[in-house]
């Protein structure tokens, strides 16, 4: 009986010994989760404290919008505040951009956070106490100026994140670059600007950036939600021009002509078959659009030249190459069949790459999105065929670009005003989530990579 008792004790000890590492791991995992939740809660508390300032900043920028490459006063306001936080600030980057560095004094990665700062040539129609009444000149035309795409909220959210992260300097590892970028909407005619110019001027160097995060508020996505996607989330944009040259003649004697108008019509119809018949659309959308046609001076003269101007939107690098090749092939082959000549310029004047979220980084950061917004409020989004020059940053370093809800819960997505319209409006309560996301993404990446 005694031997049997000893055997049972030995068996119990073996089981306990075997379970001990598992218990330790479970305890350690729970401790880590508790620490992370404490950090999430702390950031949420700080975001609540800074929310009133974020709203105040947003309203100031909304009431005082400036067009691309003209964001002089906007930049001064941003730089003044960042200097008040004790950050090292550089101005005049890509003409009117502002860059600030927060150095923790400890080794670790360099995380960049980006906000765009320019407004649009749109006259505001929303009845707000801080509505824009600013007038300016754009490409030789007198225009109203409005933050009709939410860049005013982007500035305010990044300033809020800078405030919180500066207050948490002792918990950081590495450095943070706060990038306030001009001219995201495109520089005026005859000028360059935006992310591409910032990169050429070295914004991702000294110190070298390891990763970059950016947000865009969305007027049709509900407040309190964040929307993400691995891979292509916004399209590449490639404007193009086709010049069709034929032979001029009297309109009464078309047999004496090589008609560039009829040839252009055939080319336009041919271009539509690229997407409908050559592109595999199961996983990625694509668009080929002709937006302008110029040719002829009179009803009874067949001209010798017609110009077609259009845009290509793609979400897949291979499809982008395929469409570029096919535009050349269609235009030249159809023109040749009509005894005319086609000259294709692609891209025409500017070109944005695909806004492409690094898959590995997305997997790494998804848990912090869910912890910040709530799993039920963290949603996979369909890609959009609009474009973003944040994509230039992502060509150089891994990056994530996310959409944050800015639609009031009192209105439906169908009722929500579109971006780039006079009716555009944002529910300011959505900005607090953006502040928390920028902060928590930075903290999580530093924690995982120092």
Instruction: List active site positions.
Output: 352, 428
Residues 6+ positions from 216 with CB-CB distance below 8 Å: 150, 154, 388, 401, 402, 403, 404
DSSP state of 429: G
Helix (H) or strand (E) holding 245: strand 236-245
- C-alpha span between 211 and 272 (Å, rounded): 38
366: number of Cβ within 10 Å: 16
* 184: Cα within 13 Å, side-chain hemisphere: 26
Residue 406's nearest CA partner among 172, 167, 219, 141 is 219
- C-alpha span between 145 and 134 (Å, rounded): 5
Phi and psi at 102, nearest 5°, equal -110, 115
Helix (H) or strand (E) holding 305: strand 305-314
- C-alpha span between 210 and 188 (Å, rounded): 31
Residues 6+ positions from 262 with CB-CB distance below 8 Å: 338
């Amino acid at each position: 009986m005694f031997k049997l008792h000893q055997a049972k004790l030995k068996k119990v000890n073996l089981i306990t010994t075997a379970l001990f590492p598992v218990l330790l791991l479970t305890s350690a995992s729970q401790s880590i989760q508790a620490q992370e939740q404490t950090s999430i809660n702390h950031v949420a508390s700080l975001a609540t404290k800074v929310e009133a300032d974020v709203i105040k900043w947003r309203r100031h920028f909304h009431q005082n919008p400036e067009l691309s490459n003209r964001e002089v006063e906007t930049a001064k306001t941003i730089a003044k505040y960042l200097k008040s936080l004790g950050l090292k600030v550089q101005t005049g980057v890509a003409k009117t951009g502002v860059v600030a560095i927060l150095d923790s004094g400890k080794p670790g990665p360099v995380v960049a956070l980006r906000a765009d700062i320019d407004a649009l040539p749109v006259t505001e129609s929303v009845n707000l106490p801080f509505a824009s009444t600013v007038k300016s000149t754009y490409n030789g035309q007198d225009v109203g100026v409005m933050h009709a795409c939410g860049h005013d909220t982007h500035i305010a959210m990044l300033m809020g994140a800078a405030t919180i992260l500066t207050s948490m300097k002792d918990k950081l590892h590495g450095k943070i670059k706060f990038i306030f970028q001009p001219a995201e909407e495109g520089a005026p005619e005859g000028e360059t600007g935006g992310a591409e110019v910032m990169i050429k001027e070295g914004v991702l160097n000294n110190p070298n950036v390891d990763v970059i995060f950016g947000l865009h508020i969305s007027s049709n996505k509900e407040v309190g939600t964040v929307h993400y996607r691995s891979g292509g989330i916004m399209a590449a944009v490639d404007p193009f021009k086709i010049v069709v040259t034929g032979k001029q003649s009297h309109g009464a004697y078309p047999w004496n002509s090589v008609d560039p108008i009829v040839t252009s019509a055939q080319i336009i119809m041919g271009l539509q078959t690229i997407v409908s018949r050559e592109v595999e659309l199961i996983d990625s959308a694509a668009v080929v659009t002709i937006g302008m046609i110029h040719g002829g001076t009179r009803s009874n003269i067949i001209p010798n030249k017609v110009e077609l101007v259009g845009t290509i939107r793609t979400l897949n690098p291979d499809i982008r190459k395929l469409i570029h090749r096919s535009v050349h092939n269609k235009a030249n082959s159809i023109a040749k069949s009509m005894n005319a000549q086609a000259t294709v310029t692609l891209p025409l004047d500017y070109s944005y790459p695909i806004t492409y979220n690094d898959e590995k980084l997305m997997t790494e950061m998804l848990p912090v999105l869910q912890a910040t917004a709530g799993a039920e409020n963290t949603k996979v989004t369909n890609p959009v065929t609009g474009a973003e020059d944040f994509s230039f940053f992502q060509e150089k370093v891994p990056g994530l670009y996310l959409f944050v809800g800015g639609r009031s819960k009192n209105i439906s997505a169908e009722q929500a005003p579109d971006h780039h319209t006079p009716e555009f409006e944002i529910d300011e309560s959505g900005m607090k989530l953006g502040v928390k996301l920028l902060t928590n993404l930075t903290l999580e990446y530093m924690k995982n990579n120092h």
